[in-house]
Amino acid sequence: MEINIAPSAREETKSAARYYENKVEGLGKAFMGALQIGFRRIQTYPLASTLIHGEYRRHLLDQFPFGIIYRIDDDAITVVAIMHLRQKPDYWLSI
């Protein structure tokens, strides 16, 4: 199943990767790697993640305090947010 990533989620991804890379060299790349693993897991097991609001699910990343917020559409998975778990966790509901 194809994954479509909302522009706002792409920006969140870039921002988080820059933040981690500025903290420790290579950590931004590790974040991006964890995100890619998360995407692959969602593609393989789209129904395995926790339902958190209506049709939206949250997949937790390994080693980083982030969740991938997504919904399953007829022919694709739509990622609406790459959410930091400790910073305004419900902000994405207003997107």
pLDDT, tens digit, 9 for 90 and up, residues 12-61: 999 999 999 999 999 999 999 999 999 999 999 999 999 998 999 999 99
Q: How far is residue 21's CA from residue 35's CA, in Å, rounded to a whole number? A: 15
Pick the closest to residue 55 from 45, 40, 70 (CA basis). Answer: 70
pLDDT, tens digit, 9 for 90 and up, residues 54-89: 999 999 999 999 999 999 998 999 999 999 988 766
For position 89, what pLDDT does the model report?
60
Q: Are 38 and 59 in contact (CB under 8 A)?
A: yes
Q: How far is residue 34's CA from residue 61's CA, in Å, rounded to a whole number? A: 6
- Give pTM, 2 decimals: 0.90
Task: Give me the residue spans of the domains in the chain.
Answer: 2-88
The CA-based diameter of the chain, rounded to the nearest angstrom, is 40
At 90, the pLDDT band (50, 70, 90 cuts) reads low
CATH 3.30.70.1230 for domain 2-88: no
